[in-house]
Chain A
Amino acid sequence: MESSGKKSAESSEPSARDLRLQLKERDGLVREYLSRLRWLQAEFENYKKRVTKEREELTAYANEGLVTQLLDVSDNFERAIGIAKREEGNRSIIQGLEMVYTQLQNILKKEGLVQIKAVGEPFDPFKHEAVMRVSSNDHKDGTIVEEIQKGYFFKSKVIRPSRVKVVKNP
């Protein structure tokens, strides 16, 4: 067993040159794998950091979707109260409605909803959206003269820009 093993080993013994080539090939592979590993590891580290950041954001803004959907409800409350007030009578019902509206607003405020200031402010495209322009002698260019739809911040993020009318003199 031993002798035959030795014999076959001798006959198939690769030359030094072959071995060197093999070694070089292996070296190349090792380098490639190592670089891939480093790449992957670095990416994983970055990924972990990003996920942590994203999770923080997610927790902070978890209610954003719900709050955004409730903006329509809040708008409609304002419209209902506004129109009801134009007519005489029903004082107590209007008062009740106003209370419910305040209740809703307080909940939203507690969650981090803040109304964006609009009328009289200079137009700022980072929180306002222009839907109309008007000319006016009483106002400077770029002043907001009318709010068509209220805009809101949720914490530090604009979840809905205010839709506004802006002064633009020819």
Chain B
Amino acid sequence: MAKIIGIDLGTSNSAAAVMQAGRPVIIPSAEGATPAGKMFPSYVAFTKDGQRLVGEPARRQAVANPEGTATAFKRKMGTEHKYKIYGKEYTPQELSAYLLQKIKRDAEAFLGDEVTRAVITCPAYFNDNQRQATKDAGAIAGLEVVRIINEPTAASLAYGIDKLEKELKIMVFDFGAGTLDVTILEFGKGVFEVKSTSGDTQLGGTDMDDVIVDYLNDEFKKDTGIELKSDKMALVRLREAAEKAKIELSTTLTTEINLPFISADSTGPKHLVQTLTRAKLEELVSPIVERCRPSVERALEDAKLALGDIDKIILVGGPTRMPLVRRFIEEIMGKKVGRGVDPMECVAMGAAIQAGVITGEVKELLLLDVTPLTLGVETLGGIFTPLIPRNTTIPTKKSQIFSTAADFQTTVTIHVLQGERPMAAGNTSLGQFNLVGIPPAPRGIPQIEVAFDIDANGILNVSAKDLATGKEQAMRITAPTKLSKEQIDRMIKEAEKFAEQDKKRKEEAELRNQADSLAYTAEKTVKDLGEKITKEQREKIESAVKDLRGALGGREIEKIKDRMENLKKALQEVSTVIYQQAAQKRAGGRKQYGEPPKEKKDEEVVDAKYKVVDEGKE
């Protein structure tokens, strides 16, 4: 079955997407991405010698060939308007078809397969004529348009609104490079209905760039008396810097604009150095943002709705990434706006989702789940050792080899936990079990394979196997009460909040493990070497081990570190031969994966979110 692609055929920029493994993916443009991101400019041009250019190359030559270049022809869709280019006439749908042809080619290159069908979006206010013209454009390009959907509906689909089993009133605020569209939709029983539309065809992000350029130009003029805008080369650099600063200030509070050697006068070269803060940027563009207000109000009025009636606000278009624009809308509406989908890509993505629904590709059946939190076991010193990281798609299986922490230890406790904190105590216990009957051996020698296996239903099977004897023990954990979104978010937030503190505790635990291991190695070395070292040397090491053990009983980290150093020195003082032997032992010890699990008595199970279904088999 061939794929159907989703197309956002925009006034200034266009993009296409397709479903890949259940998710919409933007199809890259062959001529490379523009500064606008993954979209390409909606330009078509003809050169004098009859060559046709589409997208980025067409935009690049627009200045040199204005009479051969057409853009924003979407505004003329469905009218009798004809574009006259070098003696030939073109309808808006023919020009749109050239954009679609390019998209078709890009999609075929991307998918490695022929593409013949598409879902295309159009503004909610498009009438039947305009919609038919859009369909015709598809036909000219060799694409069967299986459905035309409204841009705001597509954006809502990208946000997964159709999955909410609720009746909702949605405002879609689409603030593009050159136009503003405000649409109010009503969603219920799987259907989107347009309640009202309004907007401004002469308002967009380009206006913002203009005021920033003007500001930088004026500031420079104040300092130097030079008008940068009259120098084409300086203007190119200025405009680029202004756009970059605008984008940067969406995530940072201040940015530095450095344009060395931007100009020169009789006193020498001049540099533009200007710090732009977000506050200053907002002061500059706020009159432009303010011009959006009447459109929002009109849309509400036409839909006969009050501010409080809107359940959901969706933002579309690059300029809505600006914190000022988001704040502006939130202030008018008294409500938070939805986030999580790229505002520039969401219309194309929504179209792809609609296409996926038509091919039957989007089905609940295939939606794979992910583990919301990290799953792992507790190891020596109360450290949480992860086996399956969060956001892993299930079904999945992971295993790791552990060992014992003490000599002749015959039982290990597998304590299963979930959470994002590095220490076991900070996470939620899911249950524990013992693997008994491990043949007595020095610590670090037994190999115990712990395996986590989550099936498609989210049921976790944990098993522990002694590789020497083949003895196995297992436990099954189901999720009778799934964690709510809030609980998961809380746990993740907590992990971030306590990150610093947890890191310290983990480091402390690891240091203790190292110290313990060092003391053990030292004792073993002394024993192994027997008469090969002098009595003095032995006593020195033995006393250093005793000191270290003493420090380990206390809580002073520095003391442990000091005594570890002392012991290391004492060991080093013993001949190099002995030192090398000890090093080999340590290296040998490190080959075991992970830390040996801590031997632990059965303790109370804290607040388990999962339930133990059956304790394993012997």
Contacts and interface: CB of A to CB of B under 8 A. Distances in A.
Interface stretch (B53-61, B326-334, B446-454): B53-61
Nearest to B262: A79
A148 B53 contact: no
B261 interface: yes
Interface string B224-235: 000000001100
Given A126-B57, A130-B61, A43 B264 contact: no
B20 A47 contact: yes
A39 B264 contact: no
User: Would you call the interface of chain A mostly helix, strand, loop, or mixed?
Assistant: mixed
Interface in A13-56: 36, 39-40, 43-44, 46-47, 49-50
B79 interface: no
A166 B60 CA distance: 12
Interface stretch (B62-70, B125-133, B549-557, B584-592): B62-70
Interface residues of A, number: 34
Contacts of B20: 43, 47
Contacts, number: 75
B468 interface: no
**Majority-rule SS of B interface residues:** mixed
Nearest to B62: A130
> In which size bucket is the chain B interface?
20 to 34
Contacts of B45: 125
Contact of A149 (B57, B63, B110, B236): B236
Interface stretch (A90-98, A103-111, A157-165): A157-165
B369 interface: no
29 contacts: A36-B365, A39-B1, A40-B366, A43-B20, A43-B21, A44-B21, A47-B21, A50-B110, A76-B261, A79-B260, A79-B261, A82-B261, A83-B269, A125-B58, A125-B60, A126-B57, A130-B61, A130-B62, A130-B63, A131-B63, A131-B236, A133-B64, A148-B233, A149-B233, A157-B32, A158-B32, A163-B233, A166-B64, A168-B64
Nearest 3 pairs between A and B by C-beta?
A: A130-B64, A79-B261, A125-B57
Given A76-B261, A82-B261, 13 more contacts: A43-B20, A47-B21, A49-B112, A79-B269, A83-B261, A123-B61, A125-B57, A128-B61, A131-B232, A133-B64, A141-B48, A148-B232, A148-B233
Interface of A: 36, 39-40, 43-44, 46-47, 49-50, 76, 79-80, 82-83, 123, 125-126, 128-133, 141-142, 148-149, 157-158, 161, 163, 165-166, 168
